[in-house]
Structure 1
Amino acid sequence: MYKSLKQLKLVALAITLTIGLASCGNNNLVNNFTELEQAISAAQPGTEIVMANGVWTDVEIEFKGVGTADQKIILRAETPGKVFIEGESNLSLSGEFLEVSGLVFRNGFTPTAEVISFRTSSEDLANNSRVTNCVIDNFNIKERFDSDLWVAMYGKNNRFDHNSLIGKRNQGVTMAVRLNTEASRENNHLIDYNYFGPRQNLGSNGGETLRIGTSHYSLTNSRTMVSKNYFDRTNGEHETISNKSGNNTYKDNVFFESRGTLTMRHGQYTLVEGNYFLGNRKSNTGGIRVINEYQTVRNNYLSGLTGYRFRGALVVMNGVPNSPINRYNQVVDSKIEGNVVVDSDHIQLAAGSDEERSAVPIGSSFTSNIIMSETNLNPFTVYDDVSGISFEGNIINDNAEIPFKSGFDKVPFSLTTNAEGLLVPDQALLAKIGMEKISLPVSKEETGASYYPKPGPEPTFRTGEVIKVAPGTNTLLEAFEQSSQGDVLELENGKDYLITKDFRINHLITIKAPTGDKPIIKSRKSAFFHIENEGGLELDNIKIDGAESPDEPGNSVVSTSKYSMNRNYKLFVKNCEIVDLDVNHSFNFLKIAQHTMADTLLISNSHFNNVTGSIFSLDREVEDLGIYNVEDVIIENSSFSKIQGAIANIYRGGTDESTFGPIVSVKGNTFENSGLGDRNKTSASLKFHGVQDLSVENNIWTSSAPLTLYLTNGEPVTVIKNNTMKNSGGIVSNNNEYKSESNTISK
């Protein structure tokens, strides 16, 4: 059969290699994508495929195979955390008893809709498979509103555990369980010990961290267990978790400073048990929101939560009679029992009550809960009839007010701090509600990929080196080009600085001068400073003068990138003087592009004089989809004179209820001869459309355009207080649903 001994040896070698590749427990090191594909194609039960350490660029891995419970097919990193998947890459798996571990996705994005997918096609799903000890870190599409999922679970009996998902910036759920075929329902998935790292505010719907199901399949059971995960500052939108299917369990998870809620948006028979919500008094931190039938919320610990309405510590919603599948089902036969709510502000009942959401909760109970807080002594807000909720055996501090005649025992306010730093009521009170002790069910260190660091605090200004900058032409730009994140460029008092080149800011930087005469910055470019992705700017004790700007319309002091930015930015202006932005019309202080988002815009103790454009014009999201351009605006103790445009024009259109802001504070300012320019389309000195939290207090208007309000959905909190308006048009609003107190309006 064989013509020579040499041929026989070659055949024997080939057989040996094939057997070796498929042999149980054999480690097959692959060094490139071709070898990886070949190894996957030849894999048998027990095969272990090892990806060599290093960077793998532009790889779309399809991991297919059929292992057994005792002999899985494994795809792993040579060293956990040393295999980096970069560029346009992703991973999909299908088959039985597969396991993936140790991979890091970074420096890129998926070319498809998912980064890690438990299917390779609509028909080919993964079952009884596991992804563990992997990382996805800032693996983002550059366009803010191009949507993708980082992890999509399909099939049945899969596990996703000990993974780290950090820094999703673009639209789309971080992780989703999909139920769009019968083969993915009643799935019994396990999602446990994962670290869901910080997610910035998207400023739009579509920023959930975890979603199980969708509205279309909301009457379907998923039976997914979500247990012992750590949700760290997951602030994408007000649904941190969006439950949209039935028979799911959320047990022993920790939510740390997350500006959202665990929301039972759809689905029945949800169990929410033993979870810890630690708000630390951060704004808009929320707890648990109850919608639909047969839900159980028990033995959860909720501390330091400040969110209101849909973002309260505990929220029970009104429903829509005969609700369409995508709206709000009535709360029926649901239980809230044995929970501990401390140092938190709001418990909302029959929330969302309006002409459409008129179906009040029925057959439900609020039993044996402890509410212990002095941060708000009227913690309950009742929006509609709650006779369908029975109240029994609850405990509340005796100086708090409650709108119920029975069902609550009042006790002296008493909280102590335990060894874990948690505020706890007296042990005797805990025993009354059947809770043995207050202790975190899982620590941050126990979650996520074992080798990968957890992010620290968000980057801030003034955390780096101080760089002294000599006066002159482009010396400021040259110093910036040598700077790093958080550095301070310190200018000389009273000296001149000229910019003649594009000044593109791509990290956080402070430009300041010591107390004394302000240094003067001028520019011969259309914008003094361009804030690019990753950038942010703080100006302190600086004078900006428009005298050298080009004689053309549309100049600005600060502009954002003209492209979509998937990183939120900050702009702080403190103790500054901005003058003579008047070389041509429409000279704005800040000029933004669509699909850019500021975390915070601050003007404090500053003076603006003679500006032909606007100061903050934040109205580029015109689709009316609830998208907006800034979360927090603070204008305080400053003066504005001869501003032809609006000092602030902030727009949030549409009726979407998935976001928190904008949040605006305007206090202690003077406005003189402002808002009166022919090109000011707002016809206002300040215009706020759809702002969700607005405080305008202790300001003085003189000979200026009016303050204009357009109040939309979401029960916006609008307070106009202690203002003086002289010959300034007063307050113009589309309705009177705002609080006006002690304002003086005169001709």
Structure 2
Amino acid sequence: MTSIYRVSNSDELAAAIGRAEPGSTILLADGVYDRNEDYIIKGKAGSDTAILSIRAENKGKASIVGESSIHILNSAYVEIWGLHLQVERRESIILDGSRHVRIARNRFEPRQVGAEYSLLSVVGSGSGWNRIERNEFGPKADPGPLVIFDGDGEQISQHDVIEYNYFHHISPRVVNGLEAIRLGLSGISLSNGYITIQHNLFEECDGEPEIISVKSCYNTIRYNTFLNSAGQVTARHGHGNRFHHNVFIGDGVKEEMGGFRIYGNDHHLFDNYMENLTLDALLIDGGNYDGGPDGYPGSPTQEELRKHWRVYRAHVTNNTIVNCRHGITLGKRIPYAPEQCVVAYNLVCGKDQPAIYEYRPSPAVCINNQKADAEAIRRPAILTRTDVGPDSD
């Protein structure tokens, strides 16, 4: 039965969530919803024609505060739309063993309290096919990645899409643990995600060296824009990921602004554009563990999974690097240089530097990588603030 529940305080919201069936809509009136217990959506299994929707009556005017996560547990076809999430010390939203959940048009603006927490987590067995779209994440100064996709400890969530979101003003700098997005962990890094991150804007994301940290297999990162962000998109663990048509623009001054850093097997990086970066635009790194050319060496230990795996068969083609301090770099880390890689038809413009710099001799195949005049290069279109986030078209 389809119903509409209108609520105006946290007790009414919790009660409506308990009563609502798939196909119902819960509308939050303008105001502050202050609670220190989770709002639990459990066992609500809808369909594409029966969606349980929890929506702000006026986008951005209903604020969830306190230590109260929205916990979507073993549910399907749920929508969270238009909320202003100012949760303390906790995830604002947890997707736990849930599928076909849509998180859209929300503003994640945590209250900075010095604790470690994330803003949105996707965990649990069987998670997948969720869509995170047109949200705003930030600013955030407290430790903890903003968005985490994990799964159940063995298998990462699968077939999710993260698109048209605005990630911004993540700082101060830490050594580890303040990524904008983390796809997996070392322990599940050999599982396949098939997750797509596309059409997002990352601005002033300076929290740690990995803006997006990919720690799983067969994901796609494409058509994103990175502006003045101190960090890199990193294939830290896993194999077979694809990175294409991303744009990185720096100011040429801020330190640690980079493009990509990769480890593992069979990654494809093509048609990306990098300009005025102060770190490696494209680092095909060496490794301190050799997983072998098949990438699945029996049963690696947890310690081995955490290491930097040697790169095999990376394909790095048709990328453009303009006025960056470092262009294409092969093999910083020791002892294992990249193997069987193809680095071809890339264009490096400006700065007195070689098209490719090898720390140590690498058996990569380098074909027709060119130096050119930066004045002859046209910058591709980039995403702007009006293209992404809750208020975009």
TM-score of the superposition, structure 2-length normalised? Answer: 0.90
Q: CA deviation at 1:88?
A: 2.3
Give SS of 1:36's match: helix
**1:699-723, Cα deviation, whole Å (9 max, x unpaired):** xxxxxxxxxxxxxxxxxxxxxxxxx
Letter aligned with residue 313 of structure 1: A
Equivalent residue for 1:384, pick from 357, 360, 372:
360
Give SS of 1:62's match: strand
**1:636-672, Cα deviation, whole Å (9 max, x unpaired):** xxxxxxxxxxxxxxxxxxxxxxxxxxxxxxxxxxxxx
Q: CA deviation at 1:291?
A: 1.1
Equivalent residue for 2:53, pick from 67, 70, 74:
74
Q: CA deviation at 1:63?
A: 2.5
What residue in structure 2 maps to residue 420 of structure 1? none
Measured in 1, the distance between the counterparts of 2:325 and 2:33 equals 49
Q: CA deviation at 1:52?
A: 1.5
Equivalent residue for 2:7, pick from 30, 51, 64:
30
Give SS of 2:177's match: coil
Answer with 331-340 or 88-97: which moved more. 88-97
Measured in 1, the distance between the counterparts of 2:259 and 2:52 equals 40
Letter aligned with residue 278 of structure 1: I
Equivalent residue for 1:153, pick from 90, 104, 122:
122
Write the mapping of 1:649-664 to structure 2, written as runs, cut at 5 A. Answer: none
Letter aligned with residue 369 of structure 2: N
What residue in structure 2 maps to residue 61 of structure 1? 39
- 2:68 paired with 1:89: yes
Which segments of 5 or more consecutive residues in structure 2 lack a partner in the other structure? 292-303
8 Å Cα contact 2:182/2:213 also seen in 1: yes
Equivalent residue for 2:252, pick from 277, 281, 294:
281
8 Å Cα contact 1:254/1:440 also seen in 2: no
Write the mapping of 1:424-463 to structure 2, written as runs, cut at 5 A. Answer: 424=377, 438-440=379-381, 442-450=383-391
Write the mapping of 1:188-227 to structure 2, written as runs, cut at 5 A. Answer: 188-227=159-198
Judging changes above 3 Å, is the alpha-carbon distance between structure 1 residues 381 and 451 closer, same or farther for their aligned structure 2 residues? closer
Percentage of pairs with the same residue: 24
Write the mapping of 1:338-357 to structure 2, written as runs, cut at 5 A. Answer: 338-347=318-327, 349-353=329-333, 357=334
Measured in 2, the distance between the counterparts of 1:247 and 1:441 equals 25
Structure exhibiting the larger radius of gyration computed from Cα positions: 1
Give SS of 1:118's match: strand
What residue in structure 2 maps to residue 306 of structure 1? 278
What residue in structure 2 maps to residue 247 of structure 1? 218
- 2:71 paired with 1:99: no
Give SS of 1:79's match: coil
8 Å Cα contact 1:235/1:260 also seen in 2: yes
What residue in structure 2 maps to residue 131 of structure 1? 103
Measured in 2, the distance between the counterparts of 1:117 and 1:129 equals 11
TM-score of the superposition, structure 1-length normalised? Answer: 0.48
Number of corresponding residues: 374
**1:330-385, Cα deviation, whole Å (9 max, x unpaired):** 110110001011111103534333xxx311111101101111113x4356432112
Letter aligned with residue 119 of structure 2: W
- 2:311 paired with 1:331: yes
8 Å Cα contact 2:322/2:350 also seen in 1: yes
Q: CA deviation at 1:150?
A: 0.9
Measured in 2, the distance between the counterparts of 1:75 and 1:321 equals 47
Measured in 1, the distance between the counterparts of 2:385 and 2:369 equals 31
8 Å Cα contact 2:106/2:134 also seen in 1: yes
What residue in structure 2 maps to residue 470 of structure 1? none
Q: CA deviation at 1:176?
A: 0.9
Measured in 1, the distance between the counterparts of 2:171 and 2:119 equals 15
Letter aligned with residue 281 of structure 2: A
8 Å Cα contact 1:138/1:169 also seen in 2: no
What residue in structure 1 maps to residue 300 of structure 2? none
**1:12-60, Cα deviation, whole Å (9 max, x unpaired):** xxxxxxxxxx42xx43201222322222122222100111110111252
Equivalent residue for 1:164, pick from 136, 157, 160:
136
**1:556-606, Cα deviation, whole Å (9 max, x unpaired):** xxxxxxxxxxxxxxxxxxxxxxxxxxxxxxxxxxxxxxxxxxxxxxxxxxx
What residue in structure 2 maps to residue 176 of structure 1? 148
What residue in structure 2 maps to residue 744 of structure 1? none
Letter aligned with residue 331 of structure 1: V
Equivalent residue for 1:415, pick from 375, 378, 386:
375
8 Å Cα contact 2:321/2:327 also seen in 1: no
